[in-house]
Amino acid sequence: MSWRRLNGSRILLPIKEAVERTIQKELKDGFKLKICIGTDSQVRGKKIGFATVIVFLREGKGGFMFINSEIITQKMAIRERMIHEVSKSVALAYELSDIWDKYSNIALEIHADINTDASFKSNVALKEAMGYIKGMGYEFKAKPNAFASSSCADKVC
């Protein structure tokens, strides 16, 4: 996996080390943090682009994010694509679980780019996504409150 910042600069450290160092720096600088993880996807012809983000929010002082992008060539129905997005976010959160245990005072949310309004196509995966995320022990957010996936990841997908 190749991670980068919004300005395009590559993160050369393993993501686990980069996240922990970032948390340490932000806490040392006196910020109260919340971390949100989200994934979005976009279909472009026969390819699907996925972007996963780790958003670091400084309470009252803005935030920044780390980004990972991937393109796959595979046809997926909407439900499968939504669950694939969620699984990428959950897998990342799980990979970083040692950090969450160490910094338990930092709120962590998993954001799903799934609409709570049944008139939208993505809603077909809402119950499964919510069950998956909550079942893994993470805080779940869906649209309109899932900005990490629906705004941040969407812009870099």
Residue ranges and CATH numbers for the domains of the chain are 3-156 (3.30.420)
Burial category of 90 from C-beta neighbours within 10 Å (exposed 0-12, middle 13-18, buried 19 and up): buried
Judged by phi (left if over 0) then psi (alpha if -120 to 50, else beta), residue 94 lies in alpha
Report the pLDDT value the prediction gives residue 1, as an integer from 0 to 100. Answer: 67
Report how far residue 55's alpha carbon sits from residue 63's, in angstroms, rounded to the nearest whole number.
7
Report the pLDDT value the prediction gives residue 132, as an integer from 0 to 100. Answer: 93
pLDDT in tens, 100-136: 999 999 999 999 999 888 888 888 899 999 999 999 9
